Structure 1
Amino acid sequence: MTSTRTTATAAGVLFLVTHVTSVTALALYGPVLSNKHFITGSGPETPVLLGALLEVLLALAIVGTAVALFPVIKRTNEAVALGYVGLRTLEAAVVAVGVVPLLAVTTLRHDVPTQSGTVPLGEAMVALHNWMFLVGPSLVCGTNTVLLAYLLHRSRLVPRFIAALGLIGGPLVFASGTAQMFGLIDQISVWAALAAIPVFAWEICLALFMLVKGFRTPAEAHAALVPSASTLEPTVL
């Protein structure tokens, strides 16, 4: 049980790391994402570099969650667990690749600050990052969320409502990403934010449960699967 408790703690910490790094990186990226003239400007670029570093740490933490959980979730269905690890790794790879265009912008503002077409080039780099963000944290994340939530629902390692949040949030964030891809809603909009709430709540609740309680023991999980004897016995009049 000690090993399982350690696994739950490690996974919980890594899930929280993914949230802290992703939210902080997005805030630090503000100057380059919102200002199309950033590439020709003279303002500080340290926030962008820090944001890129945090997104690299985010990618590492994403893989870490999959590696930490695999020994536990494979007991329920190894094929689905492998699918979760593979998709989680793909999500991390997309996030890491999305960092590169913004790093390139910081280089170009030194090398070609006055050449014609520099601003459109900077906008293209930002657009590439935004598309990577859409594919990774929306489409791929939505899919791997469903796989993990399914495994946790089957195993009853966590309360049912937590698994339900994942089963609801995964498809919602995937649908939101698809709608953004086809221009039905904006990437930064109220609808996109609302669609992200269940998956955000799922990861926070899952992380806190694993940190505070750890995974349920086999006896507790079995008790959650099988009705108690009192519910099966007929009432004696």
Structure 2
Amino acid sequence: MSSTRKTALIAGALFVITFLTSIPAALVLYTPVLDHANYIVGAGADTRVALGAFLEVLLIVANVGSAVVLFPVLKRQNEPLALGYVTARIIESTFIAIGIVSLLAVVTLRKDVGGTGGAGTLVAVGRSLVAIHDWTFLLGPGWIVGVGNGLILGYLMYRSGLVPRGMAMLGLIGGPLIIISGTAVLFDVIQPGSAAQVIATIPEFIWELSLGIYLMVKGFKPSPILSGTTGDAGAGERSPALAVADR
């Protein structure tokens, strides 16, 4: 197995891991603390929330790992944008980490429900911490993803031809839709989790999932940047193969 094939396989696996870790946490494991205002003074489901937090820690590792693994390949196309992609993944993961800490803080306070603050105060504090999580979800996975995985990664993959260009177009379409829908939620134009926001995430969802599966199964498509030819920076240069062919 060549080094580029290994890179594609690892990157694809990390993308798939982001789905396997984020979906259970967001849609299942965090439900008790996110949907029940009195969770902090109730019986609680602390182990369930802790498992969700653990999965999201793995999500952070996969997020950053996928960008770092792809960087040596993507920088041959456009190094500043490749570095920007790594940076976007780190920023996204920072928001996720803040959300994790906020929910774990709710669990800690629930265990201390008999403290001097009283149950009424704890409910308000708990809802505040949940609100922090909700905003980090919007600004990280609900906005920065559109810039990083959508626009930047979509552009790099489209220009390099490392994956089918029709697939990469999903990122170029989905990225702006994520940004627009996240901005609409930010300014209270639409509600979080509304049908409009869900529909806007579909192209990005398909793009990231299909990218992960494609890289695992097929690897990178043949591309000049895999043979050492630079991408955008060397767009005006002739490749060695073409030079030989002209002789």
Fold shared per TM-score above 0.5: yes
Q: Which amino acid aligns with 1:134?
A: L
The separation in 2 between residues aligned to 1:219 and 1:166, in whole angstroms, is 21
Q: Which amino acid aligns with 2:152?
A: L
- Give the match's secondary structure for 2:77: coil
- Does residue 1:23 correspond to 2:23, yes or no? yes
Q: Which amino acid aligns with 2:13?
A: V
Partner of 2:63: 62
The separation in 2 between residues aligned to 1:59 and 1:77, in whole angstroms, is 24
Partner of 1:44: 45
Percent identical across equivalent pairs?
50
Q: Shift in Å at residue 219 of structure 1?
A: 6.5
Q: Shift in Å at residue 99 of structure 1?
A: 0.3
Is the CA contact (8 Å cut-off) linking 1:149 and 1:166 kept in structure 2? Answer: yes
Deviations 1:177-235 (A, max 9, x none): 1011111111111111100100000001111110111001236999xxxxxxxxxxxxx
- Does residue 1:149 correspond to 2:154, yes or no? yes
- Segments of 5+ residues of structure 1 without an aligned counterpart are 223-237
Partner of 1:204: 209
The separation in 1 between residues aligned to 2:190 and 2:223, in whole angstroms, is 44
- Segments of 5+ residues of structure 2 without an aligned counterpart are 228-247
TM-score (norm 2): 0.87
Q: Shift in Å at residue 44 of structure 1?
A: 2.5
Is the CA contact (8 Å cut-off) linking 2:77 and 2:225 kept in structure 1? Answer: no
Matched ranges for 1:191-230 at <5 A: 191-218=196-223
Q: 1:131 aligns with which of 128, 132, 135?
A: 135
The separation in 2 between residues aligned to 1:102 and 1:132, in whole angstroms, is 11
Matched ranges for 1:70-85 at <5 A: 70-85=71-86
Is the CA contact (8 Å cut-off) linking 2:14 and 2:65 kept in structure 1? Answer: yes
Matched ranges for 1:181-192 at <5 A: 181-192=186-197
The separation in 2 between residues aligned to 1:157 and 1:218, in whole angstroms, is 6
| RMSD between aligned residues | 1.8
Q: Which amino acid aligns with 1:5?
A: R
Deviations 1:44-74 (A, max 9, x none): 3111010011111111110001011001111
Deviations 1:115-135 (A, max 9, x none): 331111111000000000001
Q: Which amino acid aligns with 1:14?
A: L
- Give the match's secondary structure for 1:42: coil
Q: Which amino acid aligns with 1:109?
A: R
Partner of 1:170: 175
What is the aligned residue count? 223
